[in-house]
Every structure is written in C-alpha cells, then in structure tokens.
Amino acid sequence: MAKPVLYIVVPCYNEEEVLPITSKLFADKLTQLMQNEHIAENSKVMFVNDGSKDGTWPLIQSLAKENTLFCGVNLSRNRGHQNALLAGLMTAMPLCDISISIDADGQDDINAMDCFIKEYENGADVVYGVRSKRELDTAFKRMSAQIFYKLLSTMGVESVYNHADYRLMSSRALKALSEFEEVNLFLRGMVPLIGFKTAVCEYERANRMAGESKYPLSKMLALALNGITSLSVKPLRLISALGLLVSLVSFLGIIWVLITRLFTENAVSGWASTVVAIFFMGGIQLLSLGVIGEYIGKIYSESKHRPRFIIAETTFDDINNNL
C-alpha cells in the first residue's frame, strides 16, 4: 500500500524570530515519519506568509532553497490567521493525501503527529489535536479559554473543546471543506460540519519558543464573535425571546399604571421609574440593532463574493495561483 503524502501547513505572521527554531523541528519530524515509513518521501512543510511586516517571507524563501522539505506560499496582503490557513490547505489539497495544520510558534507538540497518522490509518478523515491540560496558562487565560468554548457551545456553534487549529485532514475532508464558500471563516466550527469519521489525540502544549503571541484577548473575542455570527442564528432567536419578554413586562406595566390611576387618589408617575424604563428600552433596542447589524454586515460581505485570499507568489511552480 502506497504511503500517504503529507503536507504540514504552517500559517505565519511576523514569525521571523521563531521560524529558524521551529523549521528545524518540523524538518526533523517529517524526516522521522519518512524513515518510519508512515508517509511518502515527497511530503513537505508548507509555510504560508500572511502579509508579514518583518523578514518572514525572505526567510521562508531561504529555507525552501536550502531544504527541499520546505516550500512557501506568500499571500498578497494580510488576511488573518483563518484565511492564511485556508490558503495553505487549499494549495496543498491537490498535492497531498493528508494535511496537518499547526502554528509556527512551537507550542503544539509535533510528536502528536504520530497519533494523528495512526488514527488516519485507522480510518479517520479528521483528527483533532486537543490540549490535555492548561497548567502553563495564567488563571486569566484559563478562565477566558473556558468562557470562549462555553460561549460557542451556548450559542449553538459545534466545536471541539480545547482544540484550536492543530488537526489532520484527509484529502477527502479537504475537498469537502473546499465546498464551503463563505467569506467569514471560523475553521474550528466549519470542520466539524463536514461529518466524516473523526478522532481525537491529546497532547500537552508548551510555552511559545520565541516572539510574541499573535492572539491576544481582543483577537480571541473577535474570533468568538465571528464564529458565533458565522455559524449560528441563536443570537437572533435570543433577541426575539428578549423582545417577547420585554413586551410582556411592558404589558404588565401598563396594567399596573391603569390600576394605579383608577384606584389610587392623586397618583403621580415616578420620575425614576420613567427614566429607568427609557434607559432599559433604549439599551435593549441598541443591543438588538447591534446584533442584527453584525449579521447584515456578514450578509454584505458574503454577497460580494470577493476572494478569501490571493496568492502573490510561491517557492514552487506546480500549483494554480488563482485559487
């Protein structure tokens, strides 16, 4: 039986400091998997430069010239982690049998790839890398991560707890993913929608080897918001339920006012209650308009049918650059 061709897809944004370290780890792991006859000899590591402002792309070009295990894809501008990752996966799709996506920072345990490939050999089309614990994280980071995943689950987004974007996908799964044409990407929620056989491999995450994190709290919140509004209409349903509740309270308030007027002498409406009611209703209306506006904005983006990424150049010539 022929060994599968593996492409390790690594999105990069301003990773000039860490790539010299992690590229060696990726090359060693790929070589080990080849020597153990788990993958084909023409497997590669594909770095995807997401419009970096430092020397990341020249470094990728240099790595590709020095070692045939490496290849690179350079996007025309910064499009964000999810788009860069998708660009790499879609570029690798016609070239590989399986892909493994992983960040460039060295935090994800590359030895978990052995488990990934074993599960693939057992029939899984998608294998999720799941963190077994978060002891190295700060208390705030652990709390915010729990809130992130619970919020996604509460809002109806199907995702794998403690899984980021470290996963294996077969060529069949990649082809299925390519049929998802939305512009607003949240791959952690899109991949589970494919529906093929899945498996989970647990691993321990280490500290970043060099450089700074590209996912601060603000970006995590933006990612959660994008995932919720891209994959769930539950917020709109909550607005409907909230509107019904406010209408019910308002109806009861009207009854109370009428009773007060009819059976109480010299009844004077309270200024405080009036102001509170105005502020309450105004806040509810603005919140509702904001959520609805978020969905309308996404509809606007989708209707444009603009490309999710544009490849400016690669270190190899055997792909279609007009993906």
pLDDT given at position 162: 80
pLDDT given at position 87: 95
pLDDT at 32 over 60: yes
Say which range, 4-18, 189-203, 258-272, has the weakest mean pLDDT: 258-272
Say which range, 113-127, 257-271, 274-288, has the weakest mean pLDDT: 257-271
Per-residue pLDDT, averaged over 151-168, amounts to: 79
- Read off the pLDDT of residues 288-309 as tens digits, 9 standing for 90 and up: 777 777 777 777 677 777 788 8
pLDDT at 214 over 60: no
Question: Of 33, 34, 162, 23, whose CA–CA distance to 103 is shortest?
Answer: 23
pLDDT given at position 157: 72
H helical segments located in 36-170: 56-66, 81-92, 112-121, 139-154
pLDDT given at position 1: 67
- For 317, other C-beta atoms within 10 Å of its C-beta total 6
pLDDT given at position 144: 67
Question: Of 168, 164, 177, whose CA–CA distance to 214 is shortest?
Answer: 164
CA terminus-to-terminus distance, the chain? 31
pLDDT given at position 251: 66
pLDDT at 268 over 60: no
pLDDT at 67 over 60: yes
pLDDT given at position 265: 62
Per-residue pLDDT, averaged over 270-276, amounts to: 59
pLDDT at 45 over 90: yes
pLDDT given at position 47: 97
pLDDT given at position 289: 77
From edge to edge, which strands make up the β-sheet containing 44-49?
A: 198-203, 126-131, 163-170, 98-101, 6-12, 44-49, 70-75, 311-314
pLDDT given at position 320: 42
Per-residue pLDDT, averaged over 66-76, amounts to: 95
Q: Name the more confident of 169 and 261.
A: 169
pLDDT given at position 28: 95
Q: Exposure pattern of 243-262 as b/e (b: 16+ CB <10 Å)?
A: eeeeeeeeeeeeeeeeeeee
Give percent of the chain above pLDDT 90: 46
pLDDT given at position 134: 66
pLDDT given at position 154: 73
- Rounded to the nearest integer, the mean pLDDT of the chain is 82
Q: Residue 285 carries which DSSP code?
A: H
